[in-house]
Amino acid sequence: MKWYINKKIRKGKVTDITRRNFLKTGLSGIVGLVTLRAGSAPWNSITENQPKRRLIQTVTGTISPDAMGLILPHEHIMCDFVGADQVSKERYNPDEIIKTMLPYLHEIKQLGVQTFVDCTPAYIGRDPEILARLSRTAGIYILTNTGFYKEPYLPKYTWKVSAERLAEMWAAEILEGISETGIKAGFIKIAVNPGPLIPIQKKIVTAASRTHKMTGAAIASHTVKGVAAIEQLDILEHEKVDPASFIYVHASGEPEQKYHFEVAQRGAWVEYDTIRKETSEKHIELIFTMLDKGFEDSLLLSQDSGWYRVGELNGGKINGYSYLVREFLPILEAKGVGKELIHKLTVLNPSRAFTMQR
Ligand SMILES: [Zn+2]
């Protein structure tokens, strides 16, 4: 049976090792931990001779991929774009952020969302302790990440250290925990320039690839431009990393959908993650074209919504997370996308994308 009924219908602060410990210890402590587990070449798989476990690493512990339920794979609780040099826990009050953001999580919990993937990286406001408190209070699983954003939100030492060193730091945040919090990152979040990739971004993509090989964690890369997505897949291939571990974040910002097809064809995830009322028609077209082409197993849907803006009064203007489930999925259904396929797009696909095998 076709996936749709009638084609005609649709024509209508820096918290962590990344700065504090690095500056203090010059990485030796962190690297030691990882090297112990990984042997002399830590970017080689750590599990070659062991049976692999499938798991999801949330801010409150490890769960089975089957327990994730309905998933929003790309959202933000908070961001601080003040710059890598100035970002700090002193700039906000955790209680106020929790009080402000909790109702938005309650709202999606009531709509059936069980897992929220927080895509705010270090140096633009990642705070795993706030995420863990929110997760416990709202009763929603939350994932946080390791990795870096892009210029000008990179700490200065990014230029000085090698891809291997970055990978060791990031792997430590997945395997050992983020700084003294003990909270472990559940995936790798990076960002790239529009392409062709500049040297610092190539290094970051290489570091993410090696982190993946040490941990099994997915790489979600803020990408937008198709050429940048292809270039990243080439780097992954060169590093012998399975493209299935790569999420092309903000794909819907690339108007030439041929790049989406190519990324999906190569086995990576295409994420349409700026779904909201104003962009719904565009997203419906994109999604239906992908489904027409047979790429239903490569799609992820989210909103890139939120977020508490550190430095603005009461967090500034916050977009809630409910649109996708409350309005957009019913539109897809009304246009002929069956419940089973919606389940695949919002439950099965994202749980596969974020599953770590190790
Ligand atoms: Zn985002």
In Å, how far from its chain's centre is CA 258?
Answer: 23
pLDDT of residue 358: 76
Contact 282, 253 (CB under 8 A): no
258 alpha carbon – ligand 1 mean position (Å): 23
* CATH number, domain with residue 106: 3.20.20.140
pLDDT of residue 35: 36
Q: Is residue 245 part of a domain?
A: yes
In Å, how far from its chain's centre is CA 14?
Answer: 18
Indicate the pLDDT class of residue 268, thresholds 50, 70 and 90: very high
Q: Is residue 37 part of a domain?
A: no
pLDDT of residue 49: 61
Q: What residues contact 198, with CB distance under 8 A and at least 6 apart?
A: none
Residue 323 corresponds to which tokens in the numbers above? Answer: 């649109």
User: Distance between CA 195 and CA 181 in Å, rounded?
Assistant: 36
Residue 75 corresponds to which tokens in the numbers above? Answer: 């959202």
> Based on C-alpha coordinates, what's the Rg of the chain?
19
User: Distance between CA 224 and CA 145 in Å, rounded?
Assistant: 19
User: Distance between CA 216 and CA 54 in Å, rounded?
Assistant: 9
Contact 132, 75 (CB under 8 A): no
Residue 306 corresponds to which tokens in the numbers above? Answer: 């939120």
User: Distance between CA 121 and CA 131 in Å, rounded?
Assistant: 12
Q: Is residue 306 part of a domain?
A: yes
304 alpha carbon – ligand 1 mean position (Å): 5
Question: pLDDT (tens digit, 9 = 90+) per residue, 294-334?
Answer: 999 999 999 999 999 999 999 999 999 999 999 999 999 99
241 alpha carbon – ligand 1 mean position (Å): 24
Q: Is residue 41 part of a domain?
A: no
pLDDT of residue 176: 97
- For 276, the domain range is 56-357
- Of 8-22, 70-84, 260-274, where does mean pLDDT reach its minimum? 8-22
pLDDT of residue 50: 66
Question: pLDDT (tens digit, 9 = 90+) per residue, 35-68?
Answer: 333 333 444 444 456 667 899 999 999 999 999 9
Contact 270, 299 (CB under 8 A): yes
User: Distance between CA 266 and CA 128 in Å, rounded?
Assistant: 33
Q: Domain tally for the chain?
A: 1
Q: Is residue 210 part of a domain?
A: yes
25 alpha carbon – ligand 1 mean position (Å): 31
The per-residue pLDDT of the chain, averaged, comes to 89
Beta strands 70-75 and 61-63 are: unpaired
pLDDT of residue 279: 96
Instruction: Please tell me the pTM assigned to this model.
Output: 0.87
Contact 245, 212 (CB under 8 A): yes
pLDDT of residue 52: 78
139 alpha carbon – ligand 1 mean position (Å): 22
Residue labelled with tokens 């801010």 = 59
23 alpha carbon – ligand 1 mean position (Å): 28
Q: Is residue 8 part of a domain?
A: no
Question: pLDDT (tens digit, 9 = 90+) per residue, 104-131?
Answer: 999 999 999 999 999 999 999 999 999 9
